[in-house]
């Protein structure tokens, strides 16, 4: 379980401070596919980056299974990150490594033995449907295939949590569906908790069991997806759903 309490992140900028997120409270249960939706610049990327401390929060706490991670440093921090997978909008694969070697990379970093790394990577490429592409390079793959590789990479070190930062925003709608299906299947099969950042309501509707709506640095609405989407209270939620007059 992940408990985010009173989380705030602000940056010094010339002439004051910029607050990216403010007093965020969220509880993510094991096995959730938790959607965080908002417009560009609402703070959702900052929020997800606080969870593996790519961004250090200014205040508040993040408890993962009861342990506050926000103060972690050094080897403790590295160990934490090794157990949290991450999937990016632009895939961020290493262009000079084969598909197989991209998937073994997190294991290399964690010091897993070579034979075991390869076996695990092949197993994951099988899972994401790319077994026959192992020897190719990312440039030879389509965007959807590259995102599958990055999902396999995120799973390599047996994480219990995967952070997905706009995982489908660089993909067309058909490919988006196939990636969402893959994420949902992985969630069901392996029980991995997922946090998905998105600006597309369709992503939330299709795979998230819970959702939080973030607007101008704060969470304005959250709950079970069905409940929030059927009975939206906030204007921004209605706008994201396309229910509010866009020209108003």
Partner 1 sequence: MAETILGFLERYGGMLLEETANTLIMTGTATLFAYILGLPMGVLLTISQPYGIWPHKRLNRVLGWFVNIGRSLPFIILIVLLFPLTKLIVGTKLGVRGAIVPLIVAAAPFVARMVETSLAEVDDGIIEAAQSMGATAGQIVWKFYLPEALPSLTLGGSISVISILAYTAIAGAVGAGGLGDVAIRYGYHRSNPPVLVVTAVLLILMVQVIQSLFNFIAWKIDKRIRQ
Residues engaged in binding partner 1 (CB under 8 A): 52, 54, 77-82, 84, 86, 88, 90, 92-97, 105-106, 108-110, 137-140, 157, 163
| Beta carbon nearer to partner 1, 98 or 209 | 98
Q: List b or e across 86-119, with b for residues whose CB sees 16 or more CB atoms inside 10 angstroms.
A: bbbbebebeeeebbbbbbbbbbeebebeeeebbe
* Rounded least distance, CB 197 to partner 1, Å: 14
Between CA 178 and CA 104 the distance in angstroms is 23
CB 135 → partner 1: shortest distance, Å?
Answer: 11
Q: Which is nearer to partner 1, 104 or 225 (CB)?
A: 104
Taking the least distance from each CB to partner 1, the nearer of 140 and 231 is 140
- Minimum distance from residue 19 beta carbon to partner 1 (Å): 20
User: How many Cα atoms sit within 13 Å of 41 on the Cβ side?
Assistant: 1
CB of 89 to partner 1, least distance (A): 8
Considering the complex, state which of residue 157 and residue 217 has its C-beta at the smaller distance from partner 1.
Answer: 157
Residue 139 DSSP label: G
Residue 217 tokens, joined: 């640095």
* φ, ψ for residue 19, nearest 5 deg: -100, 115
């Amino acid at each position: 379980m992940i408990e985010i309490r009173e989380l705030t992140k602000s940056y010094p900028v010339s002439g004051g401070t910029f607050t990216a997120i403010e007093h965020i409270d969220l509880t993510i249960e094991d096995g959730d596919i938790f959607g965080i939706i908002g417009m560009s610049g609402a703070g959702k990327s900052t929020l997800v980056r606080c969870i593996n401390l790519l961004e250090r929060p200014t205040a508040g706490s993040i408890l993962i299974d009861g342990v506050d991670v926000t103060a972690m440093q050094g080897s403790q921090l590295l160990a934490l990150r090794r157990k949290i997978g991450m999937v990016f909008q632009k895939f961020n694969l290493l262009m000079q490594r084969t598909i197989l070697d991209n998937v073994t990379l997190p294991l290399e970093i964690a010091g897993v033995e070579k034979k075991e790394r390869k076996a695990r990577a092949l197993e994951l490429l099988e899972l994401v449907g790319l077994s026959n592409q192992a020897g190719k390079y990312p440039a030879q793959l389509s965007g959807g295939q590259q995102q599958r590789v990055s999902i396999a990479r995120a799973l390599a070190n047996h994480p219990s949590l995967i952070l997905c930062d706009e995982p489908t925003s660089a993909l067309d709608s058909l490919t988006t569906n196939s990636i969402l299906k893959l994420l949902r299947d992985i969630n069901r099969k392996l029980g991995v908790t997922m946090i998905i950042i998105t600006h597309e309501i369709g992503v939330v509707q299709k795979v998230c069991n819970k959702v939080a709506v973030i607007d101008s640095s704060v969470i304005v609405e959250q709950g079970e997806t069905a409940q929030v989407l059927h009975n939206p209270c906030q204007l921004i939620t209605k706008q994201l759903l396309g229910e509010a007059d866009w020209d108003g």
